[in-house]
């Protein structure tokens, strides 16, 4: 896949160095997503829950746990562990960028494409923001349910978290249509179905 990407970049008229940098960046982003999933897996293991496997999808990874934590505190800690890894990576990159004296504003790092470390920092920040959206299957959905489950029973907490997720999905979809961001309606459809699926999962488990 990476060789194909390299050839694609060359075909696009990039220099060999720029193409290699592009491949290195994609590989590193992939690594950051894997570390995020390992964050979930390590925290789950801390609570005695093994991870069956970690699957990588184009829009992110999923760590499949042997069982779902039922205690709100455990679900919260396992869900927050993934984004926490990206926060740590972003802070380390911020430190390195500051020491090297690189410009770290989003405009400087992302759009001039001169600062790969700054770009990586912002990619990690966006991974945190995206994952904290309070809708299943994002980590924010689980964090919201965990917060609700401290006050409500697990089923009601799941129902309310799922409704919040569906509402966010609808708003995201409408925004996508009106702003011409055509990938958004597809992502929101996926989020909408995941919210309903989560309720079904809890009902099936009883």
CB of 125 to Zn ion, least distance (A): 15
Nearest CB to Zn ion, comparing residues 72 and 82: 82
Any idea of the CA torsion for 59, 108, 128, 65, to the nearest 10 degrees?
A: 50
Residues found near Zn ion in the complex (CB under 5 A): 82, 139
Alpha carbon distance 33, 30 (integer Å): 5
Active site (annotated) includes residue 75? no
Nearest CB to Zn ion, comparing residues 63 and 149: 63
CB atoms near residue 49 (< 10 Å): 16
By residue count, the chain amounts to 206
Nearest CB to Zn ion, comparing residues 69 and 82: 82
CB of 142 to Zn ion, least distance (A): 8
CB of 182 to Zn ion, least distance (A): 25
Maximum CA extent, the chain: 58
What are the DSSP E strand ranges found in the chain? Answer: 51-57, 60-65
Q: Of the listed 37, 74, 75, 198, which one is catalytic?
A: 37
Q: Which residue is nearest to Zn ion (CB)?
A: 82
CB atoms near residue 86 (< 10 Å): 23
Nearest CB to Zn ion, comparing residues 18 and 132: 132
User: CA 99 from chain center: how many Å?
Assistant: 28
CB of 62 to Zn ion, least distance (A): 8
The contacts of residue 115 (CB under 8 Å, 6+ apart) are 97, 102, 103, 104, 108, 109
Instruction: Give me the active site residues, please.
Output: 37
């Amino acid at each position: 896949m990476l060789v194909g990407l390299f050839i694609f970049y060359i075909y696009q008229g990039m220099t060999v160095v720029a193409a290699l940098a592009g491949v290195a960046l994609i590989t590193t982003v992939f690594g950051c997503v894997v570390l995020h999933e390992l964050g979930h897996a390590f925290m789950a293991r801390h609570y005695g829950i093994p991870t069956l496997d970690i699957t990588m999808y184009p829009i992110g990874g999923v760590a499949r746990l042997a069982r779902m934590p039922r205690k709100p505190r455990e679900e919260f800690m396992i869900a927050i562990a993934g984004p926490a890894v990206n926060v740590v990576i972003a802070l380390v990159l911020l430190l390195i960028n500051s020491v090297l004296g690189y410009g770290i504003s989003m405009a400087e790092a992302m759009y001039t494409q001169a600062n790969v470390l700054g770009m990586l920092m912002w990619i990690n920040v966006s991974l945190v923001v995206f994952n904290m959206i309070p809708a299943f299957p994002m980590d924010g959905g689980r964090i919201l349910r965990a917060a609700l489950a401290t006050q409500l029973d697990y089923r009601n907490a799941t129902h309310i978290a799922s409704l919040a997720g569906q509402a966010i999905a609808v708003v995201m979809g409408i925004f996508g249509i009106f702003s011409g961001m055509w990938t958004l309606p597809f992502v929101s459809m996926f989020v909408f179905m995941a919210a309903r699926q989560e309720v079904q999962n809890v009902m099936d488990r009883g």
